[in-house]
Amino acid sequence: MKRAADTKRDSQTLKALLGVRDLVLGGDVPPGERLSEASLADRLGISRTPLRAALARLEQEGLLEQIPSGGFAVRSFTMADVFDAIEIRGVLEGTAARLAAERGVAPASLKAIKQLVTELDKCFRDSPEDMLFDRYVELNAEFHVALAALPGSDMMRREVERATQLPFASPSSFLEKQEDVLAFRLSLSHAQRQHREIVSAIELREGTRAEALAREHARLARHNLEFVMDEDRSLISRVPGLALVSA
């Protein structure tokens, strides 16, 4: 059982992690700039010990990089970096889907992910403008967590989780705060069809098909990114992290 001191320390580290990540992805700290521990600690209302743990974690995630003079700086990214992160997630989720189909899924787990798909269906209305966008983003994240757990492998679940923490690789990276962008809403109808097809392939034990569908599904994030960068650059400031990406 955790002691109260350990629980408090973990809570402070999580607060530091989320706080610094939001500042970085929000563009508050430009790429290449050294992060000041003193100013971050004051701004977030935390001590330096959990802050240092959070900075080390964000360096592992790839958002920060160590600098020769000591400390950390915000990384910059190319479009190729972002595409690679999305591809890595797709490969791992595809592998998880294939293993789930080949190994078979416990009835309770299959029922749970099918129920998630049903709840996602309820987010759609007669027109894209009326869909429950925020609810979709929430359930979409739950779907991807459930998908990673279907093979019954803690190792696979951890690696998929690690991949989704790569910069811009989260299933919701290019959806958050985009509820009024019609193009994003329209893309979700296709995404939802893929959700259903992935689960169906797993249930039918079609491993190769499940893997291909999951990998293709991940590429929707790339299409959404390309829309922002090529079609409507006014959205860049609204997509977390894009301030760090060079065209």
CATH classification at residue 206: 1.20.120.530
Domain shared by 26 and 115, yes or no: no
Q: How far apart are the first and last CA of the chain?
A: 49
3-state secondary structure of 72: strand
On whether the CB atoms of residues 72 and 37 are closer than 8 A, the answer is no
Residue-level pLDDT at 147: 97
Q: With 80 as the cut, is the pLDDT of residue 50 above it?
A: yes
Same domain, 55 and 86: no
Cβ neighbours of residue 135 closer than 8 Å, sequence gap 6 or more: 123
Whether 101 shows a pLDDT value over 80: the answer reads: yes
- Give the mean model confidence (pLDDT) for residues 93-104: 97
Q: Which of 78-87, 176-185, 203-212 has the lowest mean pLDDT?
A: 176-185
Whole-number Å distance between alpha carbons of 203 and 199: 6
Instruction: Say if residue 40 is in the same domain as residue 151.
Output: no
Q: Which residue has the higher pLDDT, 175 or 166?
A: 166
Alpha helices in 104-206 (DSSP H): 107-121, 133-149, 154-164, 182-203
As to burial, measured by CB atoms within 10 angstroms (0-12 exposed, 13-18 middle, 19+ buried), residue 154 is exposed
Report d(CA 214, CA 159) in Å as an integer. Answer: 16
Q: Are residues 170 and 117 in the same domain?
A: yes
Q: In the chain, how many domains are there?
A: 2
pLDDT of residue 247 exceeding 80? no
pLDDT band at 6 (very low <50, low <70, confident <90, very high): low
Give me the amino acid identity at 19.
Answer: G
pLDDT of residue 152: 95
pLDDT at 90: 95
Q: Domain span at residue 121?
A: 78-246
Residue 73 pairs with which residues in a beta bridge?
Answer: 34, 65
Burial (CB < 10 A; 0-12, 13-18, 19+), residue 210, is: buried
Question: Looking at the predicted structure, is the pLDDT value of residue 92 above 80?
Answer: yes
- Assess whether 117 and 221 both reside in one domain: yes
**Last residue in a domain, options 15, 47, 75:** 75
How is residue 91 written in tokens?
Answer: 């490969």
Domain boundary (48, 75, 102) is at 75
9-37 confidence digits (pLDDT tens): 668 888 888 888 888 877 788 888 899 99
Say whether both 204 and 119 belong to one domain: yes
The mean per-residue pLDDT over the stretch 75-89 comes to: 89
pLDDT at site 209: 98
Tokens matching residue 142: 């739950």
**Is the same domain home to 52 and 100?**
no
Q: Which of 54, 75, 96 is the last residue of a domain?
A: 75
Rounded-to-integer distance, Cα 208 and Cα 202, Å = 10
Q: Are residues 147 and 230 in the same domain?
A: yes
Q: What's residue 208's pLDDT?
A: 98
Report whether pLDDT(179) > 60: no
Judge if 171 and 64 occupy the same domain. Answer: no
What pLDDT does 114 receive? Answer: 98
Q: Are residues 187 and 129 in the same domain?
A: yes
Are 51 and 44 a contacting pair, CB within 8 Å? Answer: yes
* pLDDT tops 60 at residue 3: no
Judge contact between 169 and 89, C-beta under 8 A: yes
Please name the residue ranges forming H helices in the chain: 4-25, 37-44, 48-61, 79-103, 107-121, 133-149, 154-164, 182-203, 207-226
pLDDT at 176: 58
- 38-54: average pLDDT: 91
Q: Are residues 62 and 95 in the same domain?
A: no
